[in-house]
Amino acid sequence: MSEASAPHAADRRELTAAQRNAVAELLRVSPVADELGHRFVRAGHELHLVGGSVRDALLGRLGDDLDFCTDAHPDETLRIIKGWAESIWETGREFGTIGAQRDGLRLEITTFRAESYDQVTRNPVVEYGTNLDEDLKRRDFTINAMAVSLPDHRFTDPHGGLDDLSAKVIRTPGTPRESFGDDPLRMLRAARFAAQLRFAVHPDVHTAMSRMAADLDRITAERIRDEFTKLLCGDDPITGLRLLVDTGLAERFLPELTGLKLEIDEHAQHKDVYEHTLTVVENAVSYEEEGCDFILRMAALMHDVGKPATKAAAPDGRVSFHHHEVVGARLTKARMKALRYPKDVTAQVTALVALHLRFYGYGRGEWTDSAVRRYVADAGELLPRLHKLTRSDCTTRNRRKAAQLAADYDALEDRIARIAAEEDLARVRPDLDGNAIMELLGVPPGPVVGRAWKHLKEQRLEHGPLDRDAAEAELLRWARAEGLIA
């Protein structure tokens, strides 16, 4: 070692000692873990804080969920914590996991595992292990393969996880090929941790992800969905998304994202739609007020996926993507359905994709108050997100154009606020309700009432609020035109 590098090495050793002391201190001020450790030791068993809990403790971000492993089997774990835990659940028992709660902390205690996959089916074959080293070796990444024993606080790091944590690198305990062959979802987890922790994947890991991307097809849509959601909600989703595309993983479950690399954005010829989309996602993150807004981020990611199917070149060489928002909404709905997202989440993201172009053209002065009302009514509860998405979609490098778009949207928001102050735009409804319609027309509940209600709503959007007499006169005029009354 050279003299120049010696101080750096000394700093590294001091950092390691500080990190280890941080874990011990976190455990000291959280007596629940030590109490649990004492109970297991008295029963003749081991207990270790493991995985993400140790990683997060070292990073200074330990939350209320703690993960433990033990040589005790589930039945024995239940006997040890009975009467001590405030609540117990056994939903993960078939995988050797018992859950418990104590003093506001959620604890998951899992028997040492030596699970393996047959590399054909999607589910692991669970076998109980016999020691801590064997359990740590089977874990996905070195940064998740560290343990702190309880109650003595002994630190175990057989695969160099602490060094990788300091270097901010994602590496597997064994070879990446073996690790990903056992569980292909780990490839997606690598991208997720890159997004959450702002870490880089080791070159060997990147190579294996690229070569084994097709193995992701063995994994259920639900598991892929959960990992992808965590990735998109990471502190740095752009890094994770780039990794998915560069390794070919995105092609396995979100091919629309990869497809964007082929299309040129008509708003900014200096970059393709893929780069534009990543910038829109980044912009959307900056507009979040508190925590991750998955619906906004997903809409930003999908807003232009309809462009490849709608690309057209004019004789003068200009490229257009007419109605790409309509096609994009359809593709978004189908993709989110395939990934098993809840219907309400899918509907909201799809609506935002469909609406994201509505604003363009406002600056030409063509919008009436009626158009503004329809904009608000169509967005409904999504209006605040639509505001953010539309602003995020402005990625032009032309400062004058960017300033004009921002000013136009400021003007639209001011106009919405003015009209809202005069009318209840948050709940645009007909000026007569169903009961009033039935009474005035003398009809029972049924399709006629629905048609009348829809007509009056259109009048409300077009002309604003009507007083009672004007609303009744309009209803009677419509009914005569429909041949419902003489």
Contact 227, 264 (CB under 8 A): no
What pLDDT sits at residue 10? 39
What pLDDT sits at residue 280? 96
What pLDDT sits at residue 376? 83
Q: For 202-238, how does the pLDDT look when each residue is reduced to its tens digit (9 = 90+)?
A: 999 999 999 999 999 999 999 999 999 999 999 999 9
Question: Of all helices (H) and strands (E), which one includes residue 65?
Answer: strand 65-70
CA-wise closest residue to 303 among 386, 233, 413:
386
Contact 107, 92 (CB under 8 A): no
Which fold, 14-167?
Beta Polymerase; domain 2 (3.30.460)
Contact 145, 178 (CB under 8 A): no
Contact 238, 278 (CB under 8 A): yes
What pLDDT sits at residue 2? 35
**Residue labelled with tokens 């989309």:** 277
Query: Is 272 in a helix, a strand, or coil?
Result: strand
CB-based contacts of 356-359 (< 8 A; 24+ apart in sequence)? 356/299, 356/303, 356/325, 356/386, 356/389, 356/390, 356/393, 357/324, 357/325, 359/390, 359/408, 359/409, 359/412
Question: Of all helices (H) and strands (E), which one includes residue 407?
Answer: helix 399-422
Token pair for residue 151? 């109650």
Question: What is the rounded distance in angstroms from the CA atom of residue 97 to the CA atom of residue 92?
Answer: 5
Q: Which residues of the chain have pLDDT under 50?
A: 1-15, 122, 268-270, 425-426
Contacts for 353 with CB less than 8 Å, ≥ 6 apart? 299, 302, 303, 305, 306, 325, 328, 329, 332
Kindly give the pairing relationship between strand 147-149 and strand 155-156: antiparallel
Question: What is the rounded distance in angstroms from the CA atom of residue 299 to the CA atom of residue 356?
Answer: 9
What pLDDT sits at residue 392? 92
Going by the DSSP 8-state scheme, the letter that residue 443 receives in this structure is -
Token pair for residue 39? 């109970």
Longest dimension (CA), the chain: 103
Q: Is the pTM here over 0.85, yes or no?
A: no
Residue 419, CB-side half-sphere exposure with 13 Å CA sphere: 25
- H helices, E strands: number in the chain: 24, 11
